[in-house]
Amino acid sequence: MVISKKENDYHIEQPVQTKAERTSVESMFNEIKNIKKKDTFSENEISQAEVIPNPPLIEVIIEQKDTSSLHFKVGKQNSFNNQYYIKIDGSDTLFLAENGVFSALDKSLFSLREKTLLQIEKEKITSLECMKDNNTLWKVDHDNEWKL
């Protein structure tokens, strides 16, 4: 899945093009930002090929405004403590990350797409009316203050 930011909105670019739900995307970004390493391993201690399959379970590429990028791969789950192996591009070190890393990243298209039925800008609302059987149940108007 590819997500981009245009002005103040997030958009899913692949596998389909649709607007993304801001709170869901920002929540995922916060989870990525808060991933904690639990242990580190050099290439001498553990083979990357053994714990980071090809293709990896999840691959993340974050492109930033300054044109730098961060690229990491999530590998197998450690059977001892259920933590996941992480390989950051450009580093010879393997990391074990808390077991929540997989659920933080393993998001479906449905969980990230915009699901709001009505796109309403509350600053532009001048009145609200609720009707049933052609009868007004209630109506609220807004001049300088809301009135029922």
Q: Which residues pair with 74 in a beta bridge?
A: 58, 86
DSSP string for 103-119 = HHH---HHHHB---S--
Phi and psi based region of residue 123 (left: phi greater than 0; alpha: psi -120 to 50; beta: remaining): alpha
Question: Measured in Å, how far apart are the chain's first and last C-alpha atoms?
Answer: 46
- Give the model's pLDDT for residue 87: 92
* Whole-structure pTM value: 0.69
Q: How far is CA 110 from the centre of its chain?
A: 12
- Give the model's pLDDT for residue 148: 55
* H or E segment and range at residue 57: none
Task: Give pLDDT < 70 ranges for the chain.
Answer: 143-148
- Give the model's pLDDT for residue 63: 84
By the 8 A CB rule, do 30 and 39 touch?
no
Summarised one tens digit per residue, pLDDT across range 99-132 is: 778 777 888 878 888 887 787 877 788 888 888 8
Q: How far is CA 26 from the centre of its chain?
A: 6
- Give the model's pLDDT for residue 17: 87
